[in-house]
Amino acid sequence: MPSSATAGGFLLVLAIVLPAAGVLFSLVLGGRHAERIALGLMPAGLTVAWAIGATVWRTHSALKYYVGNWDPPLGIAFRADGLSAAMMMASSLLICGIGLFARGQFSTRPGAEQRAPLVFWVLLLSIWGALNAVFVGSDLFNLYVALELLTFAAVPLVSLDGRAETLSAALRYLLFALFGSILYLLGAVLLYGAYGTLDTVLLSGRIRPEPIAWAAVALMTTGLLAKAALYPFHLWLPPAHAGAPAPASAILSGLVVKAPFFLVVRLWFDVMPRLPEHAAAQLLGALGATAIILGSVVALRQARLKLLIAYSTVAQIGYLFLMFPLAVNPETGQPWTTAAWTGGILQAVSHAFAKAAMFMAAGLIAEALGHDRIAGLAGIGRALPITVFAFGLGGMSLMGLPPSGGFVAKAMLLTAAVAAGQWWWAVVVLAGGLLAGGYIFLVLARALADASEPLPLLSTITPGRQAVVIALALGAVLLGFVPLRPLELLQIGRPDIAAIEGLK
Amino acid sequence: MAFDIVLVLLVIGVAVWTIAARDTFAAVIGFVALGLLLTLVWVRLAAPDVALTESALGSGLTGGLLLGASARLACSEATASDEEPGAILQLIAAVLCALMSAGLVALVLLLPQPAPTLAPQAVANIAATGLGNPVTAVLMAYRAIDTLLEVVVLLLALVGIWSLAPDRVWGGLPGPRRHADPNGLLTFIAQLLVPIGILVGIYIFWVGSVAPGGEFQGATILAAMWVLASMAGLVDAPSVSGRRLRLMLAVGPAVFFAIGLTGFATAGAFLAYPEAHAKALILTIEVPLTLSIAATLALLVAGPPERASGR
Amino acid sequence: MTETALYGLCAAGLVGLGLFGLIVQPHPLRKILAFNLIGSGVFLLFGVVARRGAAAGLGGDPVPQALVITGLVVAFAATALAVALLLRLFQETGRTTLRSDG
Amino acid sequence: MSLAFNLLTVLAIVAGALFFLAGTVGLLRFPDPLSRLHALTKADNLGLGFIVVGLLLHGEGLLAASKLICVWLLTLLAGATVTQLIAHAARPSGAQE
């Protein structure tokens, strides 16, 4: 029996077991207790995620855990390197924020068990467990099951209020997600057929640049792009994320879409560091660029606030994939030391915070006004000042204005583009920022215009919920104070980290 | 070899029929037939466990589910067919898919000749699990976390389906109420077949640790028997928010988690079984797991709650 | 042309047919059917890989066979969720087309 | 002795195959659903019976033989009831007693 793992290994298991146990308890104890269980588990999950981050930072090496003492290739390993620790810390913070915000909308009323609160809290915990399983998973089929867990937890959230258009949006989302996961599985079986293992660490050692490896990675990447709603596969995202209730669309746009992106990064940078030659990375970058331009232009023309934010998600996902052509340049050998790697991950995290804050602000505005037509937003700035301010802060991060996390991420992408000599990505980043500025200003101008007659507020918005929205928006801003050089935490645990001398 | 060629031609032929059939009901019939043919293919590929799963779950329950759905959606056929994409698009799609298949065929032929395999390792370590059937050893010991997450996936799919119910019937009963026609034929076959099915299901689950079988196949047969009994009106679906049903659904994964966590103390890792009584532990996991999976599969077929619990 | 390569051919054919059905068929139920076809093709590929890995006295490598069983169960859960969504959509709107204006 | 068994097995399976053929021809040729159902069930059940008899002669032991007979009986049961149900459904709706 090999030694099962590094010291903090059991934390990785806790990160998955805690939410799953919460789901089981909520189901058995019933809807009235689901909220209490979920809120009770949040501090515990937060401490586990940040303990993992601290251990990875302290030991300066990736955490490893062999489930059941079976070492790969037979058994399944969990592995948390700097990247997964950062994503787990960010997602635990975000889920706690969303949980606090959702207490207003999905509070459990006394009396018989209600449908929506039970389903929301159970699915929130499941998404958390699935995200942690994706971030720590190191076996391709185990990651497939984690992705399915995520899909089955996210799809019902879209049609939680049962309206007809959300049902068709949920069905389209499910069909795209299933198409994605079946392609991912097809790639995984080819890799197993060729190399005899599904463990990412072993695969990176055995993989050779041959047609079967390229075909497998191409299929898996296409599948993951379908789940991450990158440009050719983005059709399902806007109606799904706009139709979902506010806390649900916050978690869908903020975190659920990031998990497939995380797996594409894991696939390209960990499983096959030497393989992806330039053309494929350029293609991914081109798809990202198209997503940025197309998403932003369509967002400009939206009449409803939530659809505008959903199309802005399509655009911001494009930024994530700009990282591939810049970070994967064969000359330097270690793609991750360039700023693009840190820029891409920072963009993922800061977009999660900013987008969650904006969706929740839009939810509060829709609750207060009864509609979310942008034309009818006049006067809301005076009625809900904190919410509109939070929306503005989030928009600032999307535009990439200092001092926001979005600025640091886009600045790093810019410097990497210039350093790598691929200036066209710089043009796209700037154009995207400009267009984002366009649609954010569009909304703010309407919101801050003073209404002719006093605004009839349907329901009073408690300051507590607005505080959560402003806290998340400030989170996106605080990320702006990250130093403008490759973040050391994100480099920990890269496959051959020892090869590079000091961090430039 | 000739049998394989005929079988493959049959499978491809029925698959073409499933895609090309104009009427959805006929396509689903083709799909069920395809499932049974695939069961034969799995037997030829020396995978009896998978053959059982494919026939019970792949063509049985899925076929039943799709048959029910195509019957309910029969009247929406007309509206959908006018959106058939144009001939050109169909041609492009056909060429694209043909290329994809050809590429896959080339890749399959490119697979390395001394095929890399984990069979020797699986057999070498099987003594530690105390099981006889290597596939069950992989499912319950080597890759136990996959099976655990997968049962949670099933539970989530059920929660997702239940969340589709309108608020007013929450806590109600899934599926329409079917009244038992005492001298009806369906009641007769249900009364006769259900006991046999339960016996076969428990046998297949029990034999799973040493021979082809296992908790998924056994649970599927038990679920099929419940579906048959409920179709014959002999048994009514339980209330969705009933405590007993919720316990039955959660007991399987809960026991799996609990024993997995005790693995920390007894065998040094999550989901590790001490070698002395590994088989006993695995069996104590499998019994409630089969119960939970059977209940979940049956309720997945039954669908979201439709009737308030009063009537 | 060994027997397993023949079934590899069959798996590729099923995946191609399923993909064609997924793209061409407008009715969501037919798309779900086509998705199950692709699933069967992919799992058949797992079976071919398992059969090629037959060693140590076993008819096939047990690991991919176990993965197929897990995959079949997950595919069934997906089909059940998709069918329930479709039936609910049909109940709400009386039609099953996915063409939404959004 | 085993030659006789082999001969009998071959004969039985050929007879079974013929009955299946007859059933399929019946299915294709007969005009209305009821008679096609009738042909199909009768012929196929008998065909399966012959094939089971043929296999029994080759059966390795009592357990395998009893399993084969169980298969046949269950198929008979399922075939009969499904045919009845389809017949009820396919019957001209007018004669609904």
Which tens digit of pLDDT belongs to each residue from B248-300? 999 999 999 999 999 888 888 888 888 888 889 999 999 999 999 999 999 99
Q: What is the pLDDT of residue B202?
A: 92
**Please, which residues bridge with residue A373 across strands?**
A304
Question: Cβ contact (<8 Å) for B185 and D74?
Answer: no
Dist CA D64 CA A93 (whole Å): 61
Q: Collapse the DSSP code of B307 into the 3-class scheme (helix H, G, I; strand E, B; otherwise coil) and give the result.
A: strand
Question: Cβ contact (<8 Å) for A123 and B156?
Answer: yes
C25 vs B contacts (CB less than 8 Å):
19
Which of C76, C92, C93, C100 best probes binding to B when mutated, by most B CB atoms within 10 angstroms?
A: C76
D and B interact (at least 3 Cβ pairs within 8 A): yes
A and D interact (at least 3 Cβ pairs within 8 A): no
C82 vs A contacts (CB less than 8 Å):
171, 174-175, 178
Give the ipTM: 0.93
CB atoms within 10 A of CB A493: 22
Chain segment A390-425, per-residue pLDDT in tens: 999 999 999 988 888 889 899 888 888 888 888 888
Chain segment A206-235, per-residue pLDDT in tens: 888 888 998 999 999 999 999 999 988 889
Please tell me which of the candidates B116, B163, B247 has its beta carbon nearest to residue A119: B163
Query: What is the rounded radius of gyration, in angstroms, for the C-alpha atoms of chain A?
Result: 22
Please tell me which of the candidates C46, C49, C98 has its beta carbon nearest to residue A172: C98
Classify each residue of B46-76 as buried b or exposed e, where b means 16 or more C-beta atoms within 10 Å of its C-beta.
Answer: bbbbbbbbbbbbbbbbbbbbbbbbbeebeeb
In the block, which residue shows the tokens 């929740």?
A360
Any chain B CB within 8 A of the CB of D90?
Answer: no
**Please, which residues bridge with residue B173 across strands?**
B307
Chain A residue with minimal CA distance to C31? Answer: A175
Classify each residue of B182-211 as buried b or exposed e, where b means 16 or more C-beta atoms within 10 Å of its C-beta.
Answer: eeebbbbbbeebbeebbebbeebbbbbbee
Instruction: Please count the residue pairs, one from chain A and one from chain B, whose beta carbons lie less than 8 angstroms apart.
Output: 162
CA contacts within 13 A on the Cβ side of A265: 29
Question: Cβ contact (<8 Å) for C102 and A74?
Answer: no
Any chain A CB within 8 A of the CB of B168?
Answer: no
Residue C99 pLDDT exceeds 80: no
Select the CATH number that applies to the domain covering C3-93 from these four: 3.20.19.10, 3.40.50.2000, 1.10.287.3510, 3.40.140.10. Answer: 1.10.287.3510
Give a yes or no: residue D44 inside a domain.
yes
Q: What are phi and psi of A71, to 5 degrees?
A: -85, 150
> Among the listed ranges A135-144, A294-303, A492-501, which one has the minimum average pLDDT value?
A492-501
**Please, which residues bridge with residue A66 across strands?**
A77
Question: Cβ contact (<8 Å) for B117 and C61?
Answer: yes
Give a yes or no: residue D96 inside a domain.
no
Q: Structure tokens of C101?
A: 């204006």
Q: What is the pLDDT of residue B180?
A: 67
Dist CA B16 CA C13 (whole Å): 10
Determine contact, residues B260/B281, Cβ cutoff 8 Å. no
If one compares D46 and A484, the residue with the highest pLDDT of the two is D46
Range of the domain at D34: 2-91
**Contacts of residue A447, Cβ cutoff 8 Å, sequence gap at least 6:** A365, A377, A378, A380, A381, A388, A391
Chain C residue with minimal CA distance to A75? Answer: C63
Q: Structure tokens of D64?
A: 């395998």
Peptide bond into A403 cis (omega under 30): yes
Q: How far is B310 from chain A (nearest CA, A)?
A: 14
Q: How far is C61 from chain A (nearest CA, A)?
A: 10
D78 vs B contacts (CB less than 8 Å):
189, 193
Which of A482, A336, A460 shows the shortest CA–CA distance to A402?
A482
Chain A residue with minimal CA distance to B120? Answer: A74
Q: How far is C3 from chain A (nearest CA, A)?
A: 16
Please tell me which of the candidates A170, A172, A192 has its beta carbon nearest to residue C49: A192
Q: Structure tokens of B193?
A: 């077949």
Dist CA A228 CA A262 (whole Å): 10
Which of A188, B274, B111, A446 shows the shortest CA–CA distance to C4?
B111
Chain segment A42-86, per-residue pLDDT in tens: 999 999 999 999 988 888 888 888 888 888 888 899 999 889 999
Q: What is the pTM of this model?
A: 0.93
Per DSSP (E only), the strands in chain B are 173-174, 305-307
Determine contact, residues B96/B73, Cβ cutoff 8 Å. no
**Which chains have 3 or more CB–CB distances shorter than 8 Å to chain C?**
A, B
Chain segment B103-160, per-residue pLDDT in tens: 999 999 888 888 888 888 888 888 888 888 999 999 999 999 999 999 999 999 999 9
Which of A267, A225, A52, A44 shows the shortest CA–CA distance to A139?
A267
Determine contact, residues C22/C35, Cβ cutoff 8 Å. yes
Q: What is the pLDDT of residue A335?
A: 52
Q: What is the dihedral of CA B38, B44, B46, B52, to 10 degrees?
A: 30
Q: What is the count of structural domains for chain D?
A: 1
Which of B61, B108, B150, B297 best probes binding to C when mutated, by most C CB atoms within 10 angstroms?
A: B108
CA contacts within 13 A on the Cβ side of A320: 27
Q: What is the pLDDT of residue A502?
A: 37
Q: What are phi and psi of A5, to 5 degrees?
A: -175, -175
Q: Considering only residues 225 to 244 of chain B, which have any Cβ-Cβ distance to chain A shorter than 8 Å? A: 241, 243
Please tell me which of the candidates C7, C24, C27 has its beta carbon nearest to residue B8: C7
B185 vs D contacts (CB less than 8 Å):
81, 84-85, 88
Which of B297, B82, B90 shows the shortest CA–CA distance to B201?
B297
Question: Cβ contact (<8 Å) for B66 and C79?
Answer: yes
In the block, which residue shows the tokens 């996106």?
A476
C and A interact (at least 3 Cβ pairs within 8 A): yes
Question: Cβ contact (<8 Å) for D85 and B185?
Answer: yes
Which of A317, A394, A406, A315 shows the shortest CA–CA distance to A361?
A394
Position B311 confidence tier, pLDDT thresholds 50, 70, 90 = very low
Peptide bond into A232 cis (omega under 30): no
A172 vs C contacts (CB less than 8 Å):
98, 100
Dist CA A196 CA A190 (whole Å): 10
Q: What is the pLDDT of residue A310?
A: 94
Question: Cβ contact (<8 Å) for B185 and D88?
Answer: yes
Q: What is the pLDDT of residue B266?
A: 84
**Which chains have 3 or more CB–CB distances shorter than 8 Å to chain B?**
A, C, D
Dist CA A218 CA A298 (whole Å): 29
Q: What is the pLDDT of residue B78?
A: 61
Chain segment D39-90, per-residue pLDDT in tens: 888 888 888 888 888 888 876 788 888 888 888 888 888 888 888 888 887 7
Mean pLDDT to the nearest integer, A349-358 = 93
Q: What are phi and psi of B306, to 5 degrees?
A: -125, -25
Position A2 confidence tier, pLDDT thresholds 50, 70, 90 = very low
C102 vs A contacts (CB less than 8 Å):
165, 169, 238-239, 242-243, 307
Determine contact, residues C31/C22, Cβ cutoff 8 Å. yes
Q: What is the pLDDT of residue A113?
A: 78
Q: What is the pLDDT of residue D5?
A: 83
Q: What is the pLDDT of residue A307?
A: 93
Question: Cβ contact (<8 Å) for C85 and B164?
Answer: yes
Residue C43 pLDDT exceeds 90: yes
Dist CA A222 CA A377 (whole Å): 39
**Which chains have 3 or more CB–CB distances shorter than 8 Å to chain D?**
B
Chain segment C50-98, per-residue pLDDT in tens: 998 888 888 889 999 999 999 999 999 999 999 999 999 988 887 777 6
Chain B residue with minimal CA distance to D67? Answer: B200
Region class of A216: left (phi > 0), else alpha (psi between -120 and 50), else beta: alpha
Q: What is the pLDDT of residue C101?
A: 41
Mean pLDDT to the nearest integer, B55-64 = 91
CB atoms within 10 A of CB A482: 16
Please give the distance of CA B160 from its chain centroid, rounded to a whole number.
17
Residue A503 pLDDT exceeds 70: no
Chain B residue with minimal CA distance to A216? Answer: B107
Please tell me which of the candidates C52, C82, C102 has its beta carbon nearest to residue A174: C82
Q: Collapse the DSSP code of B174 into the 3-class scheme (helix H, G, I; strand E, B; otherwise coil) and give the result.
A: strand
Question: Cβ contact (<8 Å) for B160 and A116?
Answer: no
Q: What is the pLDDT of residue A204?
A: 87
How far is CA B67 from each of CA A49, A337, B293, C69, C81, rounded to the nearest angstrom? 46, 55, 22, 23, 15
Mean pLDDT of chain B, nearest integer = 88
C52 vs A contacts (CB less than 8 Å):
193
Please name the residue ranges forming H helices in A5-81: 9-29, 31-59
Which of A310, A148, A154 shows the shortest CA–CA distance to A237?
A310
Mean pLDDT to the nearest integer, B44-54 = 92
Question: Cβ contact (<8 Å) for A156 and B110?
Answer: no
Dist CA B267 CA A399 (whole Å): 53
**Please, which residues bridge with residue A80 across strands?**
A63
Q: What is the pLDDT of residue B10?
A: 94
Determine contact, residues A391/A444, Cβ cutoff 8 Å. yes
Residue A378 pLDDT exceeds 90: no
Which of A2, A55, A30 shows the shortest CA–CA distance to A113?
A30
**How, if at all, do strands B173-174 and B305-307 pair?**
antiparallel
Q: How far is A415 from chain C (nearest CA, A)?
A: 37
Any chain B CB within 8 A of the CB of C58?
Answer: yes
Q: What are phi and psi of B277, to 5 degrees?
A: -120, 50
Q: C-alpha angle C24/C30/C36, rounded to 5°?
A: 105
If one compares B13 and A204, the residue with the highest pLDDT of the two is B13
Determine contact, residues A52/A88, Cβ cutoff 8 Å. yes
Please tell me which of the candidates C31, C42, C64 has its beta carbon nearest to residue A175: C31
Residue A499 pLDDT exceeds 60: no
Which helix or strand (DSSP H or E) is residue B192 part of? helix B185-207
Q: What is the pLDDT of residue B88?
A: 87
Q: Structure tokens of D30?
A: 């007969």
Q: What is the pLDDT of residue A275?
A: 59
% residues pLDDT > 70 (chain A): 93
Residue A196 pLDDT exceeds 70: yes
- Please tell me the total number of residues recorded for chain D in this structure: 97
C73 vs B contacts (CB less than 8 Å):
53, 57, 150, 154, 216
Q: How far is D7 from chain B (nearest CA, A)?
A: 22
C63 vs A contacts (CB less than 8 Å):
74
